[in-house]
Chains A and B, each alone.
Chain A
Amino acid sequence: MSNQKNDLAQTGRPVLDVRNLAVSLAGNPSAKVVSDVSFTVHPGETVCVVGESGSGKSVTAFSIMGLLSREALHCSGGRIELDGENVLEADKERLRALRATRMAMIFQEPMTALNPVETVGEQIDEVLRIHKRMGRKARREKVMEMLEAVHLPEPERIYSSYPHQLSGGQRQRVVICIALILEPRLLIADEPTTALDVTTQKQILLLIRELQEKHNTAVLFITHDFGVVADIADRVVVMNRGEVVEVGTREQILSAPDKDYTRMLVSSVPSLVPEAREAHDGDIVLSVKGLGKVYAQKRFLGARREVAAAVDVDLTVRRGEILGVVGESGSGKSTVARCIVRLQDPTQGEVVVCGENIAAARGSALLSVRKRIQMVFQDPFRSLNPRLTVGESIIEGLTNFGVARAQALRRAGELMGLVGLPADALKRYPHQFSGGQRQRICIARALALEPDVLVADEAVSALDVSVQAQVLELLDDIRRKTGVGVLFITHDLRVAAQICDTIMVMQKGKIVEFGPAADVLTSPKQPYTRLLLEAAPGRHWDFQNFRPLPL
């Protein structure tokens, strides 16, 4: 937004005024989760609260709504004024009356934010029933109006649909309906687009902006994504470890941040423009030809329903090369990865690893393939067995293939060094490590068998940007040292730009575009690739150099 608008926003009385907020663990007032947090949000203004996981940004948001879980956390100090009224002193009744009417919230996970056993219409209607005295017919009309206002197609059908019958973007629109139907003064959005595809994200951000302008709503937007900040923020609050690091206008924060932490955060946003990379001309380690996967659902007394998750996929990975597969959810990228690793059986085509077709390998043949191709999964919190020490997890593959225990442990020790963890990490359990460290462990586990091909499925998506950068560097380093070929699945074009030599764009199970990373990301030939790039948030900003990008 323009500076003029910012000035305008600053002068009036703020809708939300948070002063010296402190949140502590319940029963231990000195254990502060959030302390001394102050900021304001004015009518029509969008304030972004940015920070990495554990920064206290969500806790702050929930404090405003009075939605902290009582057993775990409580507000131990400061004030939260909503139009001059301190909500920390409001009793339960008052707080309930304020919710949805004066302040409302939308959440990160549209998949779980709605009650699965009630129709969408009933759930929006509930807001009206709680807060308004309106007849059934008037309520229904109002809900229909709102469904149209968030641009949902066929409001009548959506009204009587259950959440599971809608897509993620549609569900988020429904959540927005619930939040905004009573035209609250303040909208709190807690990472509302993090779980969505980029193109859907763009639409939802536009929708929030549209409704905000219509009703002059104050928006408090919680996010970890500086791309989104660059696109929507008027002002930015940077948080770290429960404290405010810096508050400023979007321009100040993005182009001339005061604090080192802010500089670090902003500059670790990867660029959308890849560095020039040399073409690889080593041996082909993985070659996939005409790969197809059809999911068939058998039905009693009915036709078989078939879904083609991957159609005619061709790709090659050379020694030391990183091939990125990008696409939105449902594009088939994970299916391709799973078929290549043979966690799923492809229904068509060849998967050739070092000259051997493994597409139909069974039994012992398949077993020997496992040694050559390994996978790193998306969620480092769930992909390690919590009851096994890290060492046991890492050597399991080696001992399965007959390596003596002592020798396997020695190898595990070396691997710890390779992924930058201390050797004593082997004796500890997964829960004793952070997300980034766990992903390093997963990479070490995958490398234990010295595979020729590593398949990484959204391997850094669950990590904070600064940690993401470190893990990506590690992967880059490992492929240089070991020559392993990497198939890197991601939905994030910035991540792809950072690490991939070549990029393959997938849509609806098919390859749309394929080429060197620099070509695909800077001069895309296909409309779909262009669409993806245009939807990438913050693409007009050069984060590393703190300046706008020339268009």
Chain B
Amino acid sequence: MFSYVIKRAVATLPVMAMVAVVVFAMLRLTPGDPAAILAGDDASGAQLEAIRRSMGLDQPIMVQLYVWMKQLAQGDLGVSLLSGTPVLEMIGGRIGPTLSLAVLTILLTIVVAIPMGVVAARNPGGLLDRTVMTFSVLGFSIPTFVIGYLLIYAMALKLGWFPVQGYSSVDKGLWPFFQRLVLPTLALSGIYIALVARMTRSSVIDVMGEDFIRTARAKGAKETSVLLRHALRNAAVPIVTVIGIGVASLITGVVVTESVFNLPGLGRLVVEAVLARDYPVIQGLILLFSFTYVLINLAVDILYTVFDPRIRY
């Protein structure tokens, strides 16, 4: 097990290196010039050239790549072309809202979706099942920003329970922190609840057809215990997989929610950096996202062994 984790961790390095090269190449291939954006419309050719030189953009592409990779190897993501702030610092300043939103969304998803799925699986085709499935279809098909605006309209503007938008970090008090995250979390979790509830339902229904479920019933076990103790744990592997995919797509998929609720998170940072062609920031963020993906995959693989003793690495 330990050697497996080490092996996987080592295998991360070439993956990250490849991501770095691809990201670098893609950015240079897209049209747009950060110097021109920074200089503004009235800048003369000489001014532009000077700005380029100061950013290091006058160097041949291979040299730029070399310089960047060398920085990376030292754990340095570089500085923003626009503000001169170190990229790492920028990410540090913006990761709070995103991480909080992601963690709350996942918690809410797990707490709501898994019971929903199990309840639906208990009697497939029954009223509860159809209700859950209807909700699931809605969750899939209504875009996050629509849910977001509806929530703002109802719960912030009409009822006045929550602020319309904005963010307050934890150190300024727990209540304002949560108060501002409730609506974004609700809006964002819709689709994940739909996804995980569906997966839980179908995978529990599958397991309920297995022979050992019959054995459990033959023991005189209560139906609830059959569902929770025997079926759910056996259904865990596909559910964990879907939750893992959900977490990964959450980290990168919060752009819309952050915009709707005006949260100063990573998603908005990505948008800002892309609009300004702030290469080091975009590269740094994409590297961070890929790294998260790799980590989550590893975590999911390790979780498999917790739920299923037959899986050993």
Contact = CB atoms under 8 A, between A and B. Distances in A.
Contacts of A65: 218
A372 interface: no
Given A113-B212, A115-B230, A67 B222 contact: no
A15 B308 CA distance: 40
A117 B234 contact: yes
Contact of A104 (B3, B218, B230, B307): B218
Contacts of A131: 220
B15 interface: no
B307 A117 contact: yes
B172 interface: no
Interface string B220-240: 111001000110011000000
Interface stretch (A92-100, A223-231, A463-471): A92-100
Contacts of A164: 309-310
A178 B211 contact: no
Size bracket, chain A contacts? 20 to 34
A162 B310 contact: yes
Nearest to B221: A130
Contacts of B215: 107, 113-115, 175, 178
B310 A97 contact: no
B63 to A, nearest CB: 39
A112 B210 contact: yes
Interface in B132-156: none
Contacts, number: 74
Q: Which of A113, A131, A300 has the most CB of B within 10 A?
A: A113
B309 A127 contact: no
Given A113-B211, A115-B230, A67 B217 contact: yes
Contacts of A162: 309-310
Nearest to A161: B309
A120 B310 CA distance: 14
Contacts of B234: 115-117
B10 to A, nearest CB: 11
Contacts of B217: 67, 99
B158 interface: no
A99 B230 contact: no
Interface in A119-143: 126-127, 130-131
Nearest to A66: B217
Given A117-B233, A117-B309, A300 B218 contact: no
A105 interface: yes
B219 to A, nearest CB: 5
A300 to B, nearest CB: 6
A89 B6 CA distance: 60
Contact of A67 (B210, B218, B225, B310): B218
A377 B93 CA distance: 64
A134 B7 CA distance: 46
B65 interface: no
A113 B229 CA distance: 15
B161 interface: no
Contacts of A301: 3
A114 B310 CA distance: 13
Contacts of B216: 115, 126
A114 B212 contact: yes
A161 B3 CA distance: 24
Q: Which of B214, B215, B234, B309 has the most CB of A within 10 A?
A: B215
A179 B217 CA distance: 12
Given A115-B234, A116-B308, A117-B309, A67 B214 contact: yes
A100 B222 contact: no
Q: Which of B7, B216, B225, B233 has the most CB of A within 10 A?
A: B216
A107 B214 contact: yes
Given A115-B234, A116-B310, A300-B7, A101 B220 contact: yes
A345 interface: no
A130 B210 contact: no
B233 A107 contact: no
Contact of B218 (A105, A115, A118): A105
A107 B216 CA distance: 12
Given A112-B212, A117-B307, A130 B3 contact: no
A301 B215 CA distance: 40
Nearest to A130: B220
B211 A99 contact: no
Contact of B212 (A101, A115, A130, A300): A115
Contacts of B212: 112-116
Nearest to A179: B218
A109 interface: yes
Contacts of A101: 220
A175 B212 CA distance: 10
A443 B99 CA distance: 62
Contacts of A115: 212, 215-216, 230, 234
A127 B230 contact: no
Nearest to A111: B211
Interface in B269-313: 307-310
B232 to A, nearest CB: 10
Interface string A218-255: 00000000000000000000000000000000000000
Contacts of A114: 212, 215
Interface in A404-421: none
B19 to A, nearest CB: 24
The 6 closest A-B pairs by CB, nearest first: A99-B220, A112-B211, A96-B220, A115-B212, A162-B309, A105-B218
Given A96-B222, A98-B220, A131-B220, 16 more contacts: A96-B221, A97-B220, A99-B218, A100-B220, A107-B215, A112-B211, A116-B234, A116-B308, A116-B309, A126-B219, A126-B229, A127-B219, A162-B310, A164-B309, A164-B310, A300-B4
13 contacts: A96-B221, A96-B222, A99-B219, A100-B218, A107-B211, A115-B212, A115-B234, A117-B233, A117-B309, A126-B216, A162-B309, A175-B215, A300-B3
